[in-house]
């Protein structure tokens, strides 16, 4: 989507590392703001009104650093307008929004929209589908890139290793629409590859895409197919930083390959893996909207309707657009996601000592 | 150096001799893996090349007996595929340039200037990445309508352009640029503007290129937001167009497959040629190691 998935989860992991590093080294002072530190000391109470001399100094400071403000202005403006302002708009979850009155003119209704969702016929199936699909993806999808990275790390032939890596992460760059189109075609009951295969063995060709029982497996495993190589990149990068001396010492001590993986590689991966696990869990309800939406058909809707697609249909697709209701559901999901993130982070810290914060 | 190699060698040699069998097993495993990963793509391409009306008849042939470009001709004649393609290129280009510009300036300011509340600002930027996009969709959509940008290219690209993660990415890269270099330029009397153009940008070129590529691929494949913004098929980018093909031709896959193949080719080409560039950029900044 509009974030690259890799970078999406990684930064906080990086942030943790950077925080550590930043505290260790003294940051080089740029001579562009020589006065700022001194000023900070002199003005401990920020709420105090500035006297004239200080105000002049402040202006001088701003004028001297105008380049900085020019550089910062546009990106910040953008984020405020397109990221934070819509958050303000999310208050329509608690209102009965109608375009005639605008956001602020619509009447407050408290939690009515939420209650409506809780009492709705869709509530239970949508929640269950979301949870099953997301945790299935997480549990099946999380260890596989690690295993791929661990085994690739064992391969010493450069060409071989690089080509495997390239082949496995290429699908990441293919559009979801294309992937789903391929799925429909590949698994088609008449022209699909699976149909040919079934015919070859004299079996009845399966209609996988129309089978509600198969939906989850197809969704999860095609996702793994698409993302495993790409997700392995970070683990490979971490593995490459493990001190070779550890491996040398282990070899001298007679450790087998498996033992070295078990006692050197895996512990080395642990901190990164934990951080990623926490972050992935925090976003677990965000299951790839586009893919679920495209894979939906009247046949599999009973298992394929998830929160995100429901929000989209209620808020942006149905004949009677219900912005408030749809925003309320989105907000609820965001809130649950946050709770999950906190819970998993806590669990990770208790169990392994590694966590995001 | 020599001492070290001598120290390593015995173990390595032993390991190598021991694992000849494992090595072959692994090789076999990886060949299977390669087939699993490449075959679906191959299937997509040959499905699009099967002669019209024979997609059902020939479906069982893994190696097709007859090929034809007829589907591609139909794609351009019966559907506005050419228009979609041009739309995609224009929108992707606009999005990537705008995004990279914003991220570069923002990242530079955050990395190389010290000012009050910098860290707070940085955290706020990262936090905005954590807000689920789905939460913003409805109010963003209302906003776009209010601004009169519905059904326009601007409406599709502007709201996505400031990517917090892109700013973060550039900041990480800029941190590695030596302060001494900037100070030297200042001592030599360069203005901040000159420093940015002539010192910072050339040094950040790899990161800028990486970001540009990633943004391009990102928008090229993006479906959700353009799907919301555009109703008129003449404005669709490729992803939305292909979705339309899928909806329209549920039982007739040749057009969909041809459209998918053509949409995927640029990405794959970009990816194969710039693979090193992408990976390098991600390794230096994305993981924060070295």
Q: How many CB atoms lie within 10 A of CB B31?
A: 11
Of the candidates B59, B168, B222, which has its C-beta nearest A1's C-beta? B222
Task: Indicate whether A217 pLDDT > 60.
Answer: yes
Distance, CA of B129 to CA of B131 (rounded, Å): 6
Boundary (domain end) residue, out of B68, B101, B120: B68
Domain extent for A144: 121-352
Is the domain of B107 the same as that of B188?
A: yes
Q: Which of B133, B283, B209, B212 is nearest to A3 (CA)?
A: B133
Beta-bridged to residue B66, according to DSSP, are none
> What is the per-residue pLDDT across A66-125, written as a single tens digit (0 to 9) for each?
777 788 888 888 888 888 888 888 888 888 888 778 777 788 888 888 888 888 888 899
Residues 111-140 of A with CB under 8 A from B: none
Is the domain of B17 the same as that of B104?
A: no
Q: Give the CA diameter of chain A.
A: 91
Task: Indicate whether B5 pLDDT > 70.
Answer: no
Q: Is residue A2 situated within a structural domain?
A: no
Chain A residues whose CB is inside 8 A of the B275 CB are 166
SS3 content of chain B, % helix, strand, coil (to 5): 80, 0, 20
Boundary (domain end) residue, out of B46, B68, B90: B68
Q: Is residue A184 situated within a structural domain?
A: yes
Q: Which residue has the tokens 């397109």?
A: A82
Chain A residues whose CB is inside 8 A of the B37 CB are 167-168, 170-171, 225, 229
Distance, CA of B97 to CA of B103 (rounded, Å): 10
Distance, CA of A2 to CA of B219 (rounded, Å): 7
Chain B residues whose CB is inside 8 A of the A233 CB are 279, 282
Is the domain of B64 the same as that of B87?
A: no
| Residue B138's CATH number | 1.10.3720.10
Distance from the Cα of A351 to chain B's closest Cα (Å) equals 24
Is the domain of B41 the same as that of B161?
A: no
Q: Is residue B143 situated within a structural domain?
A: yes
Report the mean per-residue pLDDT for chain A: 78
Is the domain of B123 the same as that of B259?
A: yes
Q: Is residue B73 situated within a structural domain?
A: no
* Predicted local confidence at residue B68, as pLDDT: 81
Please state which of the ranges A192-201, A293-302, B7-16, B277-286 shows the lowest mean pLDDT.
B7-16
Q: Is residue A44 situated within a structural domain?
A: no
Is the domain of B22 the same as that of B62?
A: yes
* Predicted local confidence at residue B270, as pLDDT: 83
For chain A, how many structural domains are there in total?
A: 1
Whether the Cβ atoms of residue B260 and residue B44 lie closer than 8 Å to each other: yes
- pTM score: 0.78
Domain extent for B109: 78-286
SS3 content of chain A, % helix, strand, coil (to 5): 75, 0, 25
Q: Which of B236, B228, B88, B153 is nearest to A317 (CA)?
A: B228
Share of chain B above pLDDT 70, in %: 84
* Predicted local confidence at residue B87, as pLDDT: 93
* Predicted local confidence at residue A8, as pLDDT: 36
Is the domain of B180 the same as that of B281?
A: yes
Distance from the Cα of B32 to chain A's closest Cα (Å) equals 11
* Predicted local confidence at residue A279, as pLDDT: 76
* Predicted local confidence at residue A224, as pLDDT: 92
Is the domain of B142 the same as that of B211?
A: yes
Q: Tell me, yes or no, if B275 comes closer than 8 A to chain A by beta carbon.
A: yes
| Residue A156's CATH number | 1.10.3720.10
Q: Is residue A181 situated within a structural domain?
A: yes
Q: Is residue B218 situated within a structural domain?
A: yes
Is the domain of B54 the same as that of B162?
A: no
> What is the per-residue pLDDT across A228-280, written as a single tens digit (0 to 9) for each?
888 888 888 888 888 889 888 998 998 888 888 988 899 888 888 888 888 78
Report the mean per-residue pLDDT for chain B: 80
Is the domain of B26 the same as that of B169?
A: no
Task: Indicate whether A32 pLDDT > 50.
Answer: no
Q: How confident is the model at residue A64 (pLDDT cuts 50, 70, 90)?
A: low
Is the domain of B122 the same as that of B212?
A: yes
Q: Is residue A63 situated within a structural domain?
A: no
The answer to whether the Cβ–Cβ distance between A167 and B142 falls below 8 Å is: no
Q: Is residue A47 situated within a structural domain?
A: no
Distance from the Cα of B70 to chain A's closest Cα (Å) equals 19
> What is the per-residue pLDDT across A126-171, written as a single tens digit (0 to 9) for each?
989 988 998 899 899 899 999 989 988 887 778 788 888 888 888 8
For chain B, how many structural domains are there in total?
A: 2
What's the DSSP call for residue A108?
A: B
Whether the Cβ atoms of residue B248 and residue B223 lie closer than 8 Å to each other: no
Q: Tell me, yes or no, if B9 comes closer than 8 A to chain A by beta carbon.
A: no
Beta-bridged to residue A108, according to DSSP, are A95
Mean pLDDT of B52-73: 72
Boundary (domain end) residue, out of B37, B68, B99: B68
A-B Cβ pairs (cutoff 8 Å, strict) = 320
* Predicted local confidence at residue B98, as pLDDT: 93
Q: Is residue A219 situated within a structural domain?
A: yes
Chain B residues whose CB is inside 8 A of the A291 CB are none
Is the domain of B112 the same as that of B162?
A: yes
Chain A residues whose CB is inside 8 A of the B15 CB are 251, 257
Residues 156-215 of A with CB under 8 A from B: 160, 163-164, 166-168, 170-171, 173-178, 180-182, 184-186, 188, 190-193, 195-196, 199-200
Is the predicted ipTM greater than 0.85, yes or no?
Answer: no
Distance, CA of A44 to CA of A52 (rounded, Å): 17
Task: Indicate whether B152 pLDDT > 80.
Answer: yes
Task: Indicate whether A28 pLDDT > 50.
Answer: no
* Predicted local confidence at residue B284, as pLDDT: 55
């Amino acid at each position: 989507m509009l974030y690259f998935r890799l970078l999406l989860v990684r930064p906080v992991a990086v942030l943790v590392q950077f925080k550590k590093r930043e505290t260790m080294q003294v940051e080089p002072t740029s001579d562009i703001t020589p006065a700022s530190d001194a000023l900070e000391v002199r003005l401990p109470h920020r709420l105090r009104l500035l006297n004239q001399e200080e105000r002049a100094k402040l202006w001088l400071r701003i004028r001297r650093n105008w380049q900085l403000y020019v550089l910062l202005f546009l990106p910040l403006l953008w984020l405020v307008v397109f990221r934070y302002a819509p958050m303000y708009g999310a208050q329509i979850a608690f209102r009965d929004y109608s375009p005639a009155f605008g956001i602020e003119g619509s009447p407050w209704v408290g939690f009515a929209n939420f209650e409506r969702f809780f009492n709705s016929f869709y509530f239970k199936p949508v929640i269950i589908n979301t949870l099953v699909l997301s945790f299935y993806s997480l549990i099946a999808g999380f260890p596989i890139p690690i295993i791929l990275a661990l085994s690739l790390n064992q391969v010493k032939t450069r060409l071989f290793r690089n080509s495997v890596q390239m082949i496995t992460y290429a699908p990441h760059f293919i559009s979801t629409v294309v992937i789903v189109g391929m799925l429909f075609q590949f698994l088609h009951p008449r022209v699909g590859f699976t149909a040919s295969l079934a015919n070859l063995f004299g079996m009845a060709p399966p209609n996988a895409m129309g089978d509600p029982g198969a939906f989850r497996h197809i969704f999860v495993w095609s996702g793994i197919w698409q993302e495993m190589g790409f997700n392995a990149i970070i683990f490979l990068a971490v593995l490459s930083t493990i001190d070779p001396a550890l491996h040398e010492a282990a070899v001298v001590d007679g450790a087998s390959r498996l033992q070295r993986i078990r006692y050197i590689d895996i512990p080395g991966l642990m901190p990164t893996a934990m951080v990623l696990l926490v972050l992935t869990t925090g976003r677990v309800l965000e299951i790839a909207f586009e893919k679920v939406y495209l894979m939906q058909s009247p046949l599999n809707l009973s298992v394929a309707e998830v929160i995100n697609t429901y929000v989209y249909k209620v808020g942006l697709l149905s004949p009677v657009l219900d912005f408030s209701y749809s925003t309320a559901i989105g907000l609820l999901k965001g809130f649950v996601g946050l709770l999950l993130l906190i819970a998993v982070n806590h669990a990770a810290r208790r169990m392994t000592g590694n966590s995001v914060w | 150096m020599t001492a070290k190699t001598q120290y390593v060698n015995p173990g390595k040699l032993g390991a190598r001799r021991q694992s000849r069998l494992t090595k072959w097993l692994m090789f076999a495993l990886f060949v299977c893996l390669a087939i699993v990963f490449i075959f679906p793509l191959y299937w997509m391409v040959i499905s699009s090349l099967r002669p019209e009306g024979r997609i059902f008849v020939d479906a069982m042939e893994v190696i097709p007996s007859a090929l034809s470009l007829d589907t591609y001709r139909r794609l351009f004649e019966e559907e506005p595929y050419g228009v979609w393609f041009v739309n995609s290129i224009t929108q992707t280009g606009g999005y990537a340039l705008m995004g990279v510009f914003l991220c570069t300036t923002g990242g530079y300011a955050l990395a190389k200037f010290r000012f009050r509340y910098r860290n707070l600002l940085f955290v706020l930027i990262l936090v905005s990445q954590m807000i689920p996009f789905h939460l913003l969709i409805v109010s963003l959509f209302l906003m776009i309508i209010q601004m009169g940008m519905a059904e326009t290219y601007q409406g599709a690209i502007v709201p996505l352009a400031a990517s917090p993660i892109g700013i973060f990415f550039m900041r990480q890269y800029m941190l590695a640029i030596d302060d001494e270099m900037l100070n030297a330029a200042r001592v030599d009397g360069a203005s901040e503007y000159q420093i940015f153009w002539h010192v910072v940008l050339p040094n950040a070129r790899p990161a800028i290129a990486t970001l540009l590529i990633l943004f391009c691929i990102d928008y090229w494949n993006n479906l959700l937001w353009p799907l919301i913004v555009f109703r008129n098929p003449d404005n669709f980018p490729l992803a939305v167009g292909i979705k339309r093909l899928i909806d329209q031709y549920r039982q007739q896959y040749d057009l969909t497959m041809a459209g998918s193949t053509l949409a995927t080719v640029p990405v794959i080409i970009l990816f194969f040629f710039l693979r090193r560039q992408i990976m390098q950029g991600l390794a230096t900044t994305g993981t924060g190691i070295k």
